Amino acid sequence: MNIDSHSTDLIFAEEALVWGDPKNVRMFQENLLRQNLKRVAIQHPVYSKVIREDKIDISSISTFADLNRLFPITTKESFLSNPLDYVLTPDLENPKDYLIWDMTYTAGTSGEPAPVYQTTFDFKALLFAQTRMAGLRGMTSKDKIFNLYPLAPYPHGGWIRPSQAAAVIGASAVVGMSGSTSSVFPIIRRFEEVVDLVASSNPSVLWGVPSYVLKILRELERRNLKVPDLRLLNVSGEPCGPQLRKHLKESASSITENEVFISDSLGATELQFSLVECPSGNTFHNPVPEIAHVSAVDENGQEVEDGQTGKLQVTHLNRRGTVLIKYLLGDLADMDFNPCQSCGWTGGSIAKHLGREGKFLKVRGQMVNSKLITEWLETSELILDYKVTISNEATTGLDKISIEVATKEGSLSSEDQESLVKQLSDIAGLRVEVSETPFKSIWIPEDGMKPKRLRDLRVDN
Ligand SMILES: [Zn+2]
């Protein structure tokens, strides 16, 4: 067969996803789900075994409600411990659909990175997903995208996908090529060189981790370099709260006369695409409900009502490489499947992203909610960036929490420092140390793919 297996009836017409009927979207997805389960029952090493051993009658699963009732959840731990067994084996009808095109690794903030495989079929689906994502962001062939994701020590979507997005929408792309300098091959650009390249190439879009985008903008600002065409900042990889947004906008306004928009997104390696922020700024839209159903479930794995908080769950609907069903991403979120109030998108939206589960750490025998600390730091007017470290005190070996902050002014007065110590100690429930660090050294891409704002360096950790 020359055409990717029956591709024409597997894609929604774009109009049906704008001010669409959520029931129709769900019915369409459930049709894909049934086809997917047929493949999975035969071709998926892990799930075929689950179906056999648990005696699951897949012919009785026709809706997501059935699936949630009859199919077990997949935890991150089970996938990470055995990622190769989540890849489909080829069928005889469309063997070319199953050739491996690329793989990227989960970022490995918890444990070893695990590979997620894309076959030829999946790769084209992901290029299609990029056209939808670009559409939601308002990117066109007129754009010039500057990719500020570092070259990671292993294949990672951040560095790989923005260039492909440019390819499929017909835009231009320039890649910063920052990253780990540990290679014997001299291919990495230093920070100053990346900044020079941004200025000389004059992109309309900067795309990267928000704190790194800000670092670049500030350096351009400091050196009085202009990027006249800049109009959009695509950010993902870490939370981009109101303060960070404000700083990004302020810095951008000094290097271009355009009004610069910020487009945040929530991605996951297991998805291979991102849920893109609505231009209204309120929700994150699933651009390709044909590829994955993203939902929120309760403790028993049942989908919660719209607007209620649940665990974020992914079910792939139409992939040939790595396939995950009822997979918990490890985040908490509220979903909304109604058409977006602002733009009408009906692909399913994360109405509220509440971040990772399990943010409690035991420090000196006390349970400390690290999320409260990081959230406070993210919204503090004074603080530009931060790093929280839990370690053992050199002499006593007791646990201690030290917080490095970078301030906007670059100098922290002793009153401000005392006030930070007081407020942060109150939140932590024990005394914390606060010190000032230059903004540039809080996170550098050489440290790894994802900014680590919270590190636990204790010996017995
Ligand atoms: Zn919208």
Looking up residue 365, the CATH number of its domain turns out to be: 3.30.300.30
- 345 Cα to the center of ligand 1, angstroms: 5
- 296 Cα to the center of ligand 1, angstroms: 19
The reply to whether 461 falls in a domain is no
Single out the residue in 229, 244, 267 at which a domain terminates. 267
- 343 Cα to the center of ligand 1, angstroms: 4
Q: Could you give the angle at the alpha carbon of 208 between the alpha carbons of 207 and 210, nearest 5°?
A: 115
Structure tokens given for 166:
């440019």
From the centroid of its chain, how far is CA 370?
Answer: 20
Answer with the residue of higher pLDDT: 20 or 14. 20
Question: Which run of H or of E encompasses 261?
Answer: strand 261-267
- 133 Cα to the center of ligand 1, angstroms: 12
pLDDT of 461 above 60: no
Single out the residue in 356, 387, 411 at which a domain terminates. 356
The reply to whether 198 falls in a domain is yes
pLDDT of 395 above 70: yes
Single out the residue in 317, 338, 356 at which a domain terminates. 356
Q: What is the count of structural domains for the chain?
A: 3
Q: What's the whole-number mean pLDDT along residues 299-313?
A: 93
- 338 Cα to the center of ligand 1, angstroms: 10
The reply to whether 307 falls in a domain is yes
- 272 Cα to the center of ligand 1, angstroms: 21
Residues 41 and 112 in one domain: yes
Residues 174 and 208 in one domain: yes
Identify the weakest region by mean pLDDT among 215-224, 320-329, 441-450: 441-450
What pLDDT, in 10s, does the model give residues 424-460?
888 887 889 999 988 877 777 666 666 678 888 887 5
The reply to whether 133 falls in a domain is no
Q: What's the whole-number mean pLDDT along residues 215-229?
A: 96
Residues 158 and 211 in one domain: yes
Percent of the chain with pLDDT over 90: 65
Please name which of 272, 281, 279 lies closest in space to residue 314, comparing C-alpha atoms: 272
Q: What's the whole-number mean pLDDT along residues 270-298?
A: 95
The reply to whether 112 falls in a domain is yes
- 181 Cα to the center of ligand 1, angstroms: 40
Residues 248 and 294 in one domain: no
pLDDT for residue 118: 98
Taking the C-alpha atoms of residue 117 and residue 86, their distance in angstroms, rounded to an integer, is 9
Show the domain range for 377. Answer: 360-456
pLDDT of 112 above 80: no
Identify the weakest region by mean pLDDT among 100-104, 292-296, 407-411: 407-411
DSSP code at position 439: G
- 450 Cα to the center of ligand 1, angstroms: 27
Residues 149 and 231 in one domain: yes
- 261 Cα to the center of ligand 1, angstroms: 15
The pairing of beta strand 360-363 with beta strand 366-369: antiparallel
Residues 222 and 308 in one domain: no
Residues 213 and 333 in one domain: no
Q: What's the whole-number mean pLDDT along residues 285-301?
A: 96
Q: What's the whole-number mean pLDDT along residues 34-47?
A: 97
243: pLDDT confidence band, cut at 50, 70 and 90? confident
Identify the weakest region by mean pLDDT among 226-240, 358-372, 429-443: 358-372
pLDDT for residue 130: 98
Whether residue 72 contacts residue 300, with contact meaning beta carbons closer than 8 Å, is answered with: no
The reply to whether 406 falls in a domain is yes
Q: What's the whole-number mean pLDDT along residues 258-269?
A: 95
Answer with the residue of higher pLDDT: 140 or 423. 140
The reply to whether 131 falls in a domain is no
pLDDT for residue 7: 45
pLDDT for residue 415: 87
pLDDT for residue 273: 96
pLDDT of 315 above 60: yes
Nearest 5°: phi and psi at 122?
A: -65, -40
Q: What's the whole-number mean pLDDT along residues 310-333?
A: 95
Quote the mean pLDDT of the chain: 90
Residues 379 and 350 in one domain: no
Identify the weakest region by mean pLDDT among 72-81, 219-228, 367-376: 367-376
Highest mean pLDDT among 30-44, 366-380, 407-421, 425-439: 30-44
pLDDT of 362 above 50: yes
What pLDDT, in 10s, does the model give residues 184-214?
889 999 999 999 999 999 999 999 999 899 9
Residues 213 and 98 in one domain: no
Residues 259 and 154 in one domain: yes
- 351 Cα to the center of ligand 1, angstroms: 10
Residues 121 and 160 in one domain: no
- Supply the CATH number for residue 96's domain: 3.40.50.12780
The reply to whether 373 falls in a domain is yes
Whether residue 313 contacts residue 335, with contact meaning beta carbons closer than 8 Å, is answered with: no
pLDDT of 183 above 70: yes
Taking the C-alpha atoms of residue 329 and residue 286, their distance in angstroms, rounded to an integer, is 15
- 262 Cα to the center of ligand 1, angstroms: 14
Please name which of 436, 389, 433, 434 lies closest in space to residue 408, comparing C-alpha atoms: 436
pLDDT for residue 239: 81
Residues 253 and 314 in one domain: no
pLDDT of 357 above 90: no
- Supply the CATH number for residue 150's domain: 3.40.50.980
Please name which of 37, 86, 41, 59 lies closest in space to residue 324, comparing C-alpha atoms: 86
110: pLDDT confidence band, cut at 50, 70 and 90? very low
- 281 Cα to the center of ligand 1, angstroms: 8
